[in-house]
Structure 1
Amino acid sequence: MKPAEILFWLFFLSFFTSSTLFSQELLINHVNVITMQDDKVLEDHSIYVKDGIIMEIVPEEAISVAGIRTLDGRGMYIFPGLAEFHAHLPNPEQFGPEFQEEVLWMYLANGVLRIRSMLGHESHLTLKERVEKGEIPGPRMFISGPSLNGNSVTSPDAGRQMVRDQKNAGYDHLKLHPWLDTPKFLAIADEAKKVGIYYGGHVSQDVGLVTSLTNGYRSVEHIDGYLEAMVTDKSKLDPTKSGPFNMLAVGEVAMSLLPGLIEMTLENKAYIAPTMTLFERYFGFQPAYELRQQPEMFYLPGQLVTQWFTTKSQLEGSGVLAEEKVKPYLEFRQKLFLELHKSGVPMIMSSDSPQVFNVPGFSIHREIESMSQAGMSNYEILKTGSVNCAEYFEQGGEWGVLKPGAAAEFVMVQKNPLENLETLKRPQAIMIGGKFMQRDEFMLELNLIRQKYIRQ
């Protein structure tokens, strides 16, 4: 352990007798602060927190608060934490309510302090409330309702009623899935605007990207619909031949159409949830047997990992995931992602977890690697998981930044993430909901989960 780390934990242990601090006030001195209001680091500053709100962030010599607990963060960096804006909280019927809480721990242990869950269940509303009341630890949540798709929406009027029902139930967002026809989609979009609820998701092929964007899609999940919009010969989009997400039709794409689609995306103020790692793992050419053995898989029920293995193995067996077929599509997605980003289209950090070989929390770091490999800067990557996510829900300045008056939500790491993204994988502490938790607590919970699901 480095001297700075030793000093940090000595100070920590001298002031805190329990692993979780339920403190009304906290002062952290000598810490380097990445506010995310710009790409600068406030070196050797103090941050004063009271009742879950940041009261002050000032140079070390400028603050004096008597009678409160103080922590020396010398050599450490704090930033607003990460978001997973395409999560799928499990349902209690799958592996029990305990698994829901385990998933929340996996997010926290990886520095994920906010999630947008994109496939709702009534138990998720209760889970959200329990976290907000401090009954259980977990990230702050935005919850989408049950899927609106070609099967669940039987008519335009039924779609309108589903929108009203989900709004009244307390959901924060609507998740649209494929196979909606245009009349159903337009009814859903119109009703959502009337009742004031965000909506987005997959782009149904009958509806198309243009109609989705011009009728208020808040987020386009998986960068869906762009490939299809750039294929002029729609006969090439036969799902029985073009593979998952029409990936085998990538050779038919007319990139000359992209600037117009980008302009339309910007005009309609839509966000992109790219889920790069989902496609690289679920639909990529890395073999299922390799992914199955990765360390994070051992924090999940063996039955779930086996289901993922079977799902991907079936695709491999069909030949659709051969490297020569998949690689051009993955390269296209990287290029599409970067062009959208460089043009100013806002990205929200999203990996789609838990999903085939994407483990909650852990998969966000794989998403970060994918965004970095595509050419996004470290600062812009952090922005996708903080500032952009807050602005998505029109809560900019309330969280996702570190400044007086904002929520006291942050992650402490050993190195400057603006220079070293690897440091994000080892949070040393987090603060959320008025609670300060150190790494020992994360590791204890993760070890208990791992022991529970140990393979015999």
Structure 2
Amino acid sequence: MNKSLLLIIGISFLTVFQSFSHVQLFSNVHIISMENDAVLENHAILVENGKIVKILPMSEASSIKGSEMIDGKGAYVFPGLAEFHSHIPVAQNGNTEFQEESMWLYLANGVLRVRGMIGHASHLPLKARVDAGEIPGPRLFLSGPSFSGTSVSSAEQAAQMVRDEKAAGYDHLKLHPGLEMDEFLAISKTAQELDIPFGGHVSLNVGLVPSIKGGYKSIEHMDGYVEALIPDYSKVLDPEQAGPFSMLLVKEVDWSRLPELIELSLEHKVWIAPTLTLFDRYFGFKPAEEYRNIPEMKYVSETLVQNWINAKTPYETRGVLTKANVQPYLDFRNKLFMTLHEAGVPVLMTSDSPQVFNVPGFSIHHEIELMSKAGMSNFEILKSGSVNPARYFDQEGEWGVIKAGASADFVMVEKNPLKDLNTLKEPVMVVMKGEVYDRQELQKQLEKIEMNHKR
């Protein structure tokens, strides 16, 4: 084939490629890039094929020709939120309806990235479908089936389970309670050899310090810290004395032990996933029945709501969830959360949905409210749901930020969320890899889900 023909083919290919290029200009917006806490007022975002090409002032936007023009009408744009401790629903007998509904519930609430923290084989095809654009959804990062006292029978079997999950294509490992030290060490060693991150609960027979030294990347629910602060560990091992998540022992906490734990956490680059709303709702003193008819429950089945009520009721029946028991525990968790955060331990935005009374997407706004009440700044809250999740998976700059070269994943809201967090509850528009979902489309999907679960 001669050079002239090759040149003609090359030019033709380039012309065809360019003709399929999708260029969008999101104009008249105020941008919170999350590179810092500044607001770029009266700017535009140029997107091509799902990637941000350029951020430019509106004075220069008129020079952009041949693009789809999307008027932001003065909206504020930020990179969106995260749910980095999710229990992604399982496809029941091949039925993926609840999975797909959950994807929409996240998007409708501006949640653009989700880390699944209790895995199932049905999650892998779900992620593949989202990645391929077959169904709308946030970025998914999947943990495999959990390692626990019931799923792990020996150190050898635990190590093989790590290898199997890595080979299956999971992104992360989830550890649950009940592991023995030799089993944990086998998981740790194999996971680090295969370069797959792991985290989760802290088994009582392992403890926080060995877990951190052994390579935990994330401590879910800030688990293990309270137990490590109790001088008499024998009480921690007694469920009657300790209560759920050692709730009944917080009055015995020795705060003088915390600086050493913080130093260890920073040294080993541990992340925390607070899930404040899980404890406020599941282990709070508000009666379970009072959650039955709160607005967001209409987006999940009556059976699921009843299951959540059934999960909380036994604690109420036993007299564990009195205000006298619960309030000191919630106060302790807020203090622990802010002490760790202010010391520099990085935080992931997490709410543990769908778990007890935490509906996908909606529960993140409860989490945000609790983070704010605990004392976290609006900028740091947004950071926990954008920049931090990208850093967690070593993908900083690829998403979770609004700048040239990053994926076009962002959310538009009416007001400045650095000043008003309530504006996050009602996205004007959600953009996911360049795909645009306006408020009308998001509301349409919410109404459809509500009809699917009409009481």
TM-score (norm 2): 0.94
CA distance in 1, matches of 2:410, 2:165: 31
Residues 297, 305 of structure 1: 8 Å contact kept: yes
Question: Partner residue of 1:245?
Answer: 245
CA offsets 1:262-286 (integer angstroms, 9 cap, x no match): 1100000010000000000000101
Tell me which amino acid in the other structure corresponds to 1:308.
Answer: W
Question: Partner residue of 1:11?
Answer: none
Question: Partner residue of 2:205?
Answer: 206
* Mapping 1:285-304, distance limit 5 Å: 285-304=285-304
* Mapping 1:319-330, distance limit 5 Å: 319-330=319-330
Question: Partner residue of 2:143?
Answer: 144
**Matched residue SS, 2:122:** helix
**Matched residue SS, 2:74:** coil
CA offsets 1:196-254 (integer angstroms, 9 cap, x no match): 10000000011000000011100000000000001111122111221100110111110
* Mapping 1:219-368, distance limit 5 Å: 219-237=218-236, 238-368=238-368
CA offsets 1:368-398 (integer angstroms, 9 cap, x no match): 0000000000000000000011000011111
Question: Partner residue of 2:5?
Answer: none
Residues 266, 345 of structure 1: 8 Å contact kept: yes
Tell me which amino acid in the other structure corresponds to 2:36.
Answer: D
* Mapping 1:28-427, distance limit 5 Å: 28-63=26-61, 64-93=63-92, 96-237=95-236, 238-427=238-427
CA distance in 2, matches of 1:281, 1:352: 11
CA offsets 1:283-333 (integer angstroms, 9 cap, x no match): 010111111111000100110001111111221111100110111000000
**Matched residue SS, 2:125:** helix
**Matched residue SS, 1:247:** helix
CA distance in 1, matches of 2:391, 2:70: 31
CA offsets 1:31-64 (integer angstroms, 9 cap, x no match): 1000000000000001000111100001111232
What is the Cα deviation at residue 353 of structure 1? 0.2
What is the Cα deviation at residue 176 of structure 1? 0.2
% identity of equivalent residues: 57
Residues 271, 348 of structure 2: 8 Å contact kept: yes
**Matched residue SS, 1:204:** coil
**Matched residue SS, 2:446:** helix
Unpaired segments ≥5 residues, structure 1: 1-21
User: Pairwise CA RMSD of aligned residues?
Assistant: 1.2
What is the Cα deviation at residue 143 of structure 1? 0.3
CA distance in 1, matches of 2:438, 2:304: 29
**Matched residue SS, 1:113:** strand
What is the Cα deviation at residue 92 of structure 1? 1.3
Structure 1 residue ranges (4+ consecutive) displaced by more than 3 angstroms after TM superposition: none
Tell me which amino acid in the other structure corresponds to 1:191.
Answer: T
Comparing 177-186 and 309-318, the one that deviates more: 309-318
Tell me which amino acid in the other structure corresponds to 1:122.
Answer: A
CA distance in 1, matches of 2:202, 2:126: 29
What is the Cα deviation at residue 363 of structure 1? 0.1
Unpaired segments ≥5 residues, structure 2: 1-19
Question: Partner residue of 1:13?
Answer: none
TM-score (norm 1): 0.94
**Matched residue SS, 1:75:** strand
CA distance in 1, matches of 2:316, 2:94: 27
Residues 132, 433 of structure 1: 8 Å contact kept: no
Tell me which amino acid in the other structure corresponds to 2:172.
Answer: H
CA distance in 2, matches of 1:87, 1:268: 24
Residues 23, 66 of structure 2: 8 Å contact kept: no
Residues 114, 140 of structure 2: 8 Å contact kept: yes
Question: Partner residue of 1:18?
Answer: none
Comparing 343-352 and 283-292, the one that deviates more: 283-292
**Matched residue SS, 1:206:** coil
CA distance in 2, matches of 1:162, 1:199: 13
What is the Cα deviation at residue 23 of structure 1? 8.3
1:443 matches 2:446: no
Tell me which amino acid in the other structure corresponds to 2:218.
Answer: S
Residues 134, 433 of structure 1: 8 Å contact kept: no
CA offsets 1:59-81 (integer angstroms, 9 cap, x no match): 11123221111122132100000
What is the Cα deviation at residue 94 of structure 1? 7.9
Residues 51, 433 of structure 2: 8 Å contact kept: no
Tell me which amino acid in the other structure corresponds to 1:56.
Answer: K
**Matched residue SS, 1:122:** coil
Cα distance, 1:133–1:95 mapped onto 2, change above 3 Å: closer
Query: How many aligned positions are there?
Result: 434
**Matched residue SS, 1:74:** strand
Residues 208, 225 of structure 2: 8 Å contact kept: yes
